[in-house]
Amino acid sequence: MRTKITIVLLLLNAALFYYIFYVRQHDIGDRENTTILGSEASNIQAITIEDPDQPGSSIHLVRQGDNWTISSPVEWPANPFAVRPIIADLQRLYSITSFTVQDLIKSGQTLDEYGLEKPRRILTFTPASLPGLPVNPVTLKIGAPTQAGNRLYILSPDGQRVHIVMRSLAESLNVRLDTLRADTLFTIDVFEARSLNIEPAAGSRVRFRRDNERWALEAPIQARASKTGTEITINDLRGLRVDRFLDTADTAAPARDSLALPALRVTVEGNNRSETLLIGDRLEKAPAAASGGENTEPAAEYYAQLDGRKAYFIVRIPDILVKTLRDAQQDLRDRHILDFNRANVSSITITAAQQTEVVLQRLEATGNPESAPWQIIRRTDHGPQITPADHDAVVRLLDSLASLRVLQDGTEGKGFVNDAPSDAEKENYGFTMRPAREVTLNFAAEPAPAGATAAPVPALTLQIGSGASTVAETAGNTYARVTNQNYIYRVSPDILDELPANPLAYRDRVIRELPAGAQITALRLTDLAKRVIVMDATFPLEPDAVSHAAIESLAAQLRTLRARQFVADDFANTIYVAGEERSWAYQLEMTITLSGGAAARTDTDSLFIAARSGGTTQYIGSPQYRVIFEAEQSLIDVLHAITYGPRDPGPPPES
């Protein structure tokens, strides 16, 4: 029984293999032989679609590189999503069955019965030319559908055979001109764009040019442009679409009149090509939201035309984009006032009216220059006085300068105030006499290739002025300018607080730091008014010493004496506290022992402490370091624990 089953299975397998390798391959070969068009359809260069029932309505498409263009009845870029199905249907046009025209005549039938005497569509395409051979257009006549309905008749290019094909070709050819026309206006991508030109009907032309990775405003003035703003604008232009074409004389007349002198002419230039959109009058309609959802920006309709093309159309443009184009000189300008490399700054000079000049100098560093220390140089009658600068304070200063921006235009007035001020106007802005601030940045020479001389980098000088109180337009405002430029900007008045002209604002907050071999061996705190010793401690402390933890904490903080901020760069016997001149409240004496060498050395130091003037403010003076400063909160708290702690009654008892 099993032997019979095995034999039957072998016979069935043999039959299956015979079908696959002989019958199936033969069917496929026959199908390949029924392709109506040959290699001429592989590289089509032009297509003409005619409707015999509508003379003069033929559409002519021409291939230009990888793109298609409608050359007739209007010149316009073609929609690639409408052209691709036509190309694909021609390249895979198979004949389901066919018969000769001669056999049709012998049977007493005519082409008219198949819709081929007066075809519904006539498609003519031109293949790519081959060297030395003529180019012969290929014509297909599209006839009536078959009775089955999903197929149709077509006449072969030589007119000798009628083929029955799937009707997908007829569907792809049954497209209106509006469908074949692309609705895109700008095709230049942001990365390809090299310039943006905006020409209003009234006013100066505004031109932006790409400079490597930056954008610059070239006309009507030369200034830095906002890279982000300019590229967003170009991208928004690329997103514009034709809302509807104006093909009839009646609908095109208002657009033609409006675009005789367009309100805006916008040109984007790319690599060896440019595209220009002419924008005319706004249509008198209520503002509507731009397409894409309820939360999109409001937009309006405008008459428009592409330069060099005859077609008129309506385009919907967001209101914010129209404003940007009309105010491009202001809106697309870089609002950063200073452009500099912070790592290359070698020194900073700050001056203010009736104040001492502050000079900050960067010291050389072997590694990252931004981590290099800074120092303060003060010029005195006895020569320059040098003190270490607080690195964080200098970094904050550079951050403030780098982030200084022109105020946004609004109800308070425009930010780009004046691009060509007269001397009288400069005086009104506060620049003719001593400005409120003047900051000069000096730079190290930029690195140069081997064998070349390093090119010096010119200094930058920023001036901050306060508007004249006698001039209404400038009163109460703060202005900025760079001395090698002629532009006046309006800035936030907070910049004056961020650019203090006091050397104490930049002094290193560490007043003294004991070396590793130094130890505080004794502390004594004296109430100067009462002449009473509040604390007298010798280290190591006795286990039962009063305020043991507070004294240990005080000694630990005194190892690195830091200021929250400096008050004066000299010591005085009195201190201005709470609106009056007062004597110091306490004196803190320290005994410091330095080990090392043949014998230990003992030094003494004193700090004078004022009465606490607030929850977070207490002044300390150092005769040795000739400075008065505000203590950090941690030191204030431990001094409070020592001076007031023993008298603190604690929380009230619970009732």
For 568-595, what is each residue's pLDDT tens digit?
Answer: 988 999 998 878 899 999 999 999 998 7
The sign of the torsion formed by the CA atoms of 429, 432, 437, 439 equals positive
Q: Does the structure show a pLDDT above 80 at 556?
A: yes
3-state SS assignment for residue 9: helix
- CA-CA distance, 551 to 396, in Å (whole number)? 35
Residue 83's nearest CA partner among 46, 120, 55, 56 is: 46
Q: What is the pLDDT of residues 435-468, one digit of tens each?
A: 999 999 999 887 767 666 767 889 999 999 988 7
Higher pLDDT, 564 or 26: 564
Residue 214's nearest CA partner among 242, 195, 201 is: 195
* Per-residue tokens: 560: 């690195």
Q: Specify the residue for token string 């910049």.
A: 495
The CATH code belonging to domain 342-505 is 2.60.40
The sign of the torsion formed by the CA atoms of 58, 63, 68, 74 equals negative
What local confidence, expressed as pLDDT, does residue 296 receive?
Answer: 62
What local confidence, expressed as pLDDT, does residue 451 receive?
Answer: 65
Q: Does the structure show a pLDDT above 90 at 399?
A: yes
- CA-CA distance, 508 to 485, in Å (whole number)? 34
Q: Does the structure show a pLDDT above 80 at 95?
A: yes
* Helix 548-559 with 633-643: angle, nearest 10 deg: 150
Q: Does the structure show a pLDDT above 80 at 193?
A: yes
- Letter for the amino acid at 90? L
Counting Cβ atoms within 10 Å, is residue 158 exposed (0-12), middle (13-18) or buried (19+)?
exposed
Contact 53, 123 (CB under 8 A): no
Which value, in Å, is the radius of gyration of the alpha carbons in the chain? 43
List Cα–Cα distances, 381 to 378, 385, 572, 627, in angstroms: 10, 10, 21, 19
Q: What is the pLDDT of residues 113-141, one digit of tens each?
A: 888 888 888 889 998 876 666 778 989 99
- Which of the residue ranges 322-331, 425-434, 491-500, 551-560 would you say has the lowest mean pLDDT? 425-434
- CATH number of the domain at 39-180, out of 2.40.160, 1.10.3470, 2.60.40, 3.40.50? 2.60.40
What local confidence, expressed as pLDDT, does residue 67 receive?
Answer: 87
Cβ count within 10 A of residue 210 = 21
Mean pLDDT of all residues in 51-67: 86
Counting Cβ atoms within 10 Å, is residue 462 exposed (0-12), middle (13-18) or buried (19+)?
buried
Q: Which of 57-71, 193-207, 241-255 has the highest mean pLDDT?
A: 193-207
Mean pLDDT of all residues in 36-43: 84
- Letter for the amino acid at 527? D
List Cα–Cα distances, 359 to 258, 370, 496, in angstroms: 61, 18, 17
Q: What is the pLDDT of residues 458-510, one digit of tens each?
A: 999 999 998 876 666 677 789 999 998 889 999 999 999 999 999 999 999 99
Q: Does the structure show a pLDDT above 60 at 287?
A: no
Please name the fold of domain 509-647. Immunoglobulin-like (2.60.40)
Contact 429, 474 (CB under 8 A): yes
What local confidence, expressed as pLDDT, does residue 469 receive?
Answer: 65
- CA-CA distance, 53 to 72, in Å (whole number)? 18
Q: Does the structure show a pLDDT above 50 at 106?
A: yes
Domain spans of the chain? 1-32, 39-180, 195-331, 342-505, 509-647
What local confidence, expressed as pLDDT, does residue 227 receive?
Answer: 95
- Which of the residue ranges 296-300, 340-344, 595-599 would you say has the lowest mean pLDDT? 595-599
**DSSP string of 305-349?**
EETT---EEEEEEEHHHHHHHHTHHHHTB--BS----GGGEEEEE
What local confidence, expressed as pLDDT, does residue 415 receive?
Answer: 87
The sign of the torsion formed by the CA atoms of 210, 212, 215, 216 equals negative
Cβ count within 10 A of residue 372 = 15
- Which of the residue ranges 353-367, 416-430, 631-645 would you say has the lowest mean pLDDT? 353-367
Under DSSP, the state recorded for 494 is: T
Share of the chain above pLDDT 90, in %: 46
What local confidence, expressed as pLDDT, does residue 277 receive?
Answer: 96
Mean pLDDT of all residues in 38-55: 86
Q: Does the structure show a pLDDT above 80 at 12?
A: no
Residue 326's nearest CA partner among 409, 419, 405 is: 409
CA 20: distance to chain centroid? 62
Mean pLDDT of all residues in 175-194: 90
Cβ count within 10 A of residue 451 = 5
- CA-CA distance, 216 to 188, in Å (whole number)? 19
Q: What angle do CA 215, 219, 220 make, to 5 degrees?
A: 135
- CA-CA distance, 523 to 609, in Å (whole number)? 14
What local confidence, expressed as pLDDT, does residue 62 receive?
Answer: 93
- CA-CA distance, 536 to 529, in Å (whole number)? 17
Q: Is 329 left (phi over 0), alpha (psi -120 to 50) or beta?
A: alpha
What local confidence, expressed as pLDDT, does residue 56 receive?
Answer: 75
Higher pLDDT, 207 or 100: 207
Q: Does the structure show a pLDDT above 90 at 36?
A: no
Counting Cβ atoms within 10 Å, is residue 279 exposed (0-12), middle (13-18) or buried (19+)?
buried
Q: Which of 58-67, 151-160, 391-400 has the highest mean pLDDT?
A: 391-400
* Per-residue tokens: 365: 């560093």
Q: Does the structure show a pLDDT above 90 at 432?
A: no
What local confidence, expressed as pLDDT, does residue 433 receive?
Answer: 77
Q: What is the pLDDT of residues 603-631, one digit of tens each?
A: 999 999 999 887 789 999 999 999 999 99
* Per-residue tokens: 606: 């004193």
Q: Does the structure show a pLDDT above 50 at 247?
A: yes
pLDDT band at 327 (very low <50, low <70, confident <90, very high): very high
Topology agreement, domain 39-180 and domain 342-505: yes
Mean pLDDT of all residues in 276-298: 71
Mean pLDDT of all residues in 372-388: 86
Q: Does the structure show a pLDDT above 70 at 92?
A: yes
- CA-CA distance, 46 to 83, in Å (whole number)? 11
Q: Specify the residue for token string 């982000």.
A: 228
The sign of the torsion formed by the CA atoms of 249, 252, 258, 259 equals negative
- CA-CA distance, 373 to 371, in Å (whole number)? 7
Q: Does the structure show a pLDDT above 70 at 286?
A: no
- Share the mean pLDDT of the chain: 85
- CA-CA distance, 214 to 231, in Å (whole number)? 10
